[in-house]
Structure 1
């Protein structure tokens, strides 16, 4: 049974009433949560920037990603300990073992049960023959190990130049702040890659003048 879709615009109070609270994992706890999962996964978004730059920022949650082809294995890995939901424009639906496949660029939320907070957001990464595929520019296909790195904490993260390129689409204040924190720490080859890839994925993007 699908849940009803939420209102198009929700403030924090409305979200809490409809879907419940968030108590997200952090880099210090996600490793234990994912221990034993034998497919590639990595932290994306703001945490991947903070760990690379050392610049502290606020975080609404912690996002990890994995290849879409590995989502069924993740569902099996969670077993009865955790309850994942597929997130879509139509609302939320349970992601049951043996249930329908997720969309190629789908998203999962995870909590223990209906009375527990959400702990993990999993935006899935499309795969091409088992390789990582860039959501913003599908011609960019690479082995997972080429677009991720492992921090001193032992947690895998999306490479910072790829994170910045991904963030260009929304161009929010926090995305611009992440750009400013990352940019001087990137090598010249990585900076050139960011410029070239944003130009291909988002022609005329305002960041191109800044870079």
Structure 2
């Protein structure tokens, strides 16, 4: 063709893009009226060209090769020190309230692999369970106000989900532990911002990493929090996990993201 153009891709990019096209083209929406016939032809031609150049798709270990290619594209690697689950479980043993691993470590527990380093351990506890937290760690915690950046000893007073976090005045061995606070109504977690529309029942709020013996915050909830900042590491975490979410979790995330957020079309298209 006289008007042909050349697009250069790395082998990893070709492998990952080819897999995405394969999933996209086998979805119901691709065969519906929302895709123009010309778009179908263009994507079929692109997928065929990628397939012809990536012999890895026929390898018996193709899933592992694909995962490795995805990790290389986002600079994936292992943490120097993985989360010490036994040490954290022992630390939290005196606390009688609900708690979940949150933040980036929750996503790693959900995915079953680690792709970046984490500086601390975020643990979500309910603000209404603060008396139990104070009883478990009397006089041991500092409260930080995210609005001012100032820390002071926590004396058991009520705190607000969002701006307030708690940490140990004398950190125990291992990565620093930070307690983040969640709001709740009855048997539901409720996002502390807005009208209370964004919520989940407790039986859907977490998952269990059996290999670590830890309960983690639902990945769609973690991503919803991360969407408010979209730092480079948050974008990295999103790319590594959004494709692993179940359809129900993806729908919840789309409905909970800020209107017009760049993650909405990416999540909705999966």
Query: Do they superpose with TM above 0.5?
Result: yes
Contact 2:161 2:180 in 1 (8 A): no
Q: Deviations over 1:108-134 (max 9, x none)?
A: 111337xx9983111111222463112
Q: Choose which of 194, 205, 209 in structure 2 pairs with 1:151.
A: 209
Q: Choose which of 61, 65, 71 in structure 1 pairs with 2:124.
A: 65
1:165 aligns with 2:224: yes
Q: Choose which of 123, 129, 133 in structure 1 pairs with 2:190.
A: 133
Question: TM-score w.r.t. structure 1 length?
Answer: 0.76
Aligned pairs (5 A) from 1:5-154? 26-56=84-114, 57-79=116-138, 83-88=140-145, 89-90=147-148, 91-96=150-155, 99-105=156-162, 106-112=164-170, 119-129=176-186, 131-136=188-193, 138-152=196-210, 153-154=212-213
Contact 1:131 1:143 in 2 (8 A): yes
Instruction: Give ranges in structure 2 of 5+ residues lacking alignment.
Output: 1-82
Question: TM-score w.r.t. structure 2 length?
Answer: 0.60
Judged with a 3 Å threshold, the aligned counterparts in structure 2 of structure 1 residues 208 and 60 are, in CA distance, closer, same or farther, namely: same
Whole-angstrom distance in 1 between the partners of 2:242 and 2:101: 19
Whole-angstrom distance in 1 between the partners of 2:233 and 2:218: 18
Equivalences, count = 181
1:206 aligns with 2:262: yes
Secondary structure of 1:210's match?
A: helix
Instruction: Give ranges in structure 1 of 5+ residues lacking alignment.
Output: 1-24
Structure number with bigger Rg = 2
Secondary structure of 1:125's match?
A: strand
Whole-angstrom distance in 2 between the partners of 1:30 and 1:135: 26
